[in-house]
Amino acid sequence: MSNSIHSDTQNTLRVGARRFEMSPFHDCYANAETVMGVYAGRYYPVHNGESVEETYWALRRKAALYDVPERPVEISGPDVDAFLEHVFARRVANMKTGRGRYAIALTPDGGVFMDGILFKLAEQRYWYVQPDGALETWFAAHKGGFDVTVSDPHAWVLQIQGPTSLEVMKAASDGAIDEEMGYFRSGFFDLGGQEHYVSRTGWTSERGYEIYFQGDTADAARLWAHLLEKGAPHGLVFSSISSMDIRRIEAAILDNGTDFDMTMTPYEAGLGAFVDLDKGPFVGRDALEGIETGTRLYGVKSTAGDPAYRGKVFEGGAAVGHVTAAAHSPYLKAGIGYVRFDEPGDWAGKSLTMEADGGGTVACEIVELPFYDKEKRIPRGLETEVP
């Protein structure tokens, strides 16, 4: 099981449900063992009483269905392209309708404020699918002079991830979603008599799809039953985020506010590839010019124990960094995690020690991220065999 902010099933407390949004799918899976977390102002299942290792292997070898809390925010209007160029570090105005693109937003000081996926639904209409954080407030602070509208489309996200996810979605869409739908492509599709936005993306780096449930006009229980019925012949199972958390750590998919925050530049977080300094002015651009581009975020791996959540990493007895998220990887047969070093450096390949889950310290190796599949052959559908 993972050992991160998304997977704590022990430190729980009762919280009033009205302060945050409850998933429209909650009653489809909740039971006496369900533990909920809060993210982006929404409840989501941290654990549902399942075997995490079994659902991890279902994700790797078949398909898993997840109810996730990411929040789509709509940005539209005559100046939307110019506004998005202003608020994101990556060039976005050349996007085509039906495409998605990973994009980060920076603070004026060059720190990473937010990351997420931007989708172009139509001319002058985009969705940005955000993780935790005050995105709408930040948009409002920067929209002066731009004729744009920021609104809530009231969409909730389901993910179907795994090597058989194509077969599941093909069946669920009566063949409309097929092999021609490329990585980071998207569009509106009929799923069991209801129209929903679907993208070929996900938070696992497996082949997968995200379904944006149109909450104001659709029937959640009907969609849920339809997906499970069509997915059953292809091994689809429901899972809490616990198995997804293991896989996203293996794949180096970062979590905003956990693995990086506003104190880190995109270069320190390993996100420099998503900064286009040559596209013109944008928030944070001036702060990035001429700065050091060393990385602070690396992978940590150990066969002697799992990393402790937020545990320290030591070099020669001195603490040099800390773990931000950790898991035991059934595939790698090792404890893995991310380590955020206090200073940038060439840490990869070094043998250090770390605090272990359960106490004490163990030897560990620092590695480049991701732990495997550096060319992303798996999510692109180019590699499907898992031992």
**Residue 255 belongs to a domain:** no
> How many other CB atoms are there within 10 angstroms of residue 6's CB atom?
21
Count Cα atoms within 13 angstroms, Cβ side, for 91: 9
Whole-model pTM: value is 0.93
Report pLDDT for 217.
Answer: 77
How many domains is the chain partitioned into structurally? 3
Closest by CA to 47, choosing from 4, 3, 6, 5, is 6
Q: Based on the domain organization, do 233 and 309 belong to the same domain? A: no
Mean pLDDT score across all residues of the chain: 93
Report pLDDT for 383.
Answer: 78
Instruction: Name the domain boundary from 151, 173, 200.
Output: 151
Give me the sheet containing 112-122, strands edge to edge: 100-106, 112-122, 125-130, 71-76, 149-151
> How many other CB atoms are there within 10 angstroms of residue 258's CB atom?
17
**Residue 262 belongs to a domain:** no
Ranges of residues in the chain whose predicted pLDDT is under 70? 1-18, 385-387
Report pLDDT for 152.
Answer: 92
Q: Based on the domain organization, do 33 and 120 belong to the same domain? A: no
47 is in which domain, residue-wise? 2-64+154-250
Report pLDDT for 81.
Answer: 97
Report pLDDT for 130.
Answer: 86
**Residue 268 belongs to a domain:** no
* Token pair belonging to 136: 């709408």
Report pLDDT for 18.
Answer: 65
Report pLDDT for 13.
Answer: 60
Report pLDDT for 94.
Answer: 93
**Residue 223 belongs to a domain:** yes
Report pLDDT for 118.
Answer: 97
Q: CATH no. for residue 166?
A: 3.30.1360.120
pLDDT in tens, 245-255: 999 999 999 99
Report pLDDT for 221.
Answer: 96
Residue at 177: amino acid letter: I
pLDDT in tens, 99-112: 999 999 999 999 99
Q: Based on the domain organization, do 147 and 171 belong to the same domain? A: no
